[in-house]
Structure 1
Amino acid sequence: MEITTRKENAAIVVSVKGRIDAVTAPAYENAMKGLLEKESVFILDFQNLEYISSAGLRVILATAKSLKAKSGRMVMAHVVGTVREVFDISGFGAIFSMYDSVDEALSGLA
């Protein structure tokens, strides 16, 4: 798994490449904890995310709960293919705002 971040307007875009599973979820969680200390508005860009497991869903939910506690926001972009299926089957598709692109996600945050 590879995580990159960049600032877009008032949001931090977190791009994830590869897989978020039982092996990589702790690294994802640690990276997000570090970002949560400084920022409160995030776009998770899953354009290059190939797979997400229940462990991955768990750390995303934990991130969302941490953000809610500090009145932050998190939306997602490019949730497609099997990753989208996992979100929809698990009910996460109804919990999180998902957009087709980072630009649309930025508009959704405004």
Structure 2
Amino acid sequence: MDLNEEAVDGAYILHASGRLDSNTAPILEAALPERVKEKPVVILDLANVPYVSSAGLRVLLKGAKTAKASGHKLILTGLAKSVQEVFDISGFTSIFVIAPTVDDARSTLS
């Protein structure tokens, strides 16, 4: 998994690419909780993530809990159909704010 970061108009965007599984989850776990503690709004772009395992879900849940505890916002974008299905089945759809694209997520902040 690769992570690229950028700040755009008051939002902090993490672009992830590659599988999010037990081998790669530590990469996201090293970045996501700290970013949501530091930044009022973090958009996690998953458009290039074709697969999320239970280990990946755990990291995302940790990020959501950290954001909530710090009064900040975590928005997920670009979920592939297969990833969306995992979120629907696991009940994660109700936990996260999910937008189709980064631009859609940014427009909700205005």
1:43 counterpart residue number: 43
Q: 1:101 corresponds to which letter in structure 2?
A: T
TM-score (norm 1): 0.91
Gaps of 5+ in 2: none
Deviating 4+ runs (over 3 angstroms) = none
Amino acid at match of 1:62: K
Which residue does the alignment assign to 1:53? 53
Percent of paired sites with the same residue: 40
For structure 1, the 5+ residue unaligned runs are: none
Matches within 5 A, 1:59-70: 59-70=59-70
RMSD between superposed Cα atoms in Å:
1.3
Q: Give the equivalent residue in structure 1 for 2:14.
A: 14
Following superposition of structure 1 onto structure 2, how do residues 66-105 of structure 1 map, counting pairs within 5 Å? 66-105=66-105
CA distance in 1, matches of 2:34, 2:65: 15
Match of 2:28 in 1: 28
Cα offset for 1:64? 0.9
Q: Distance in 2 between matches of 1:73 and 1:37?
A: 10
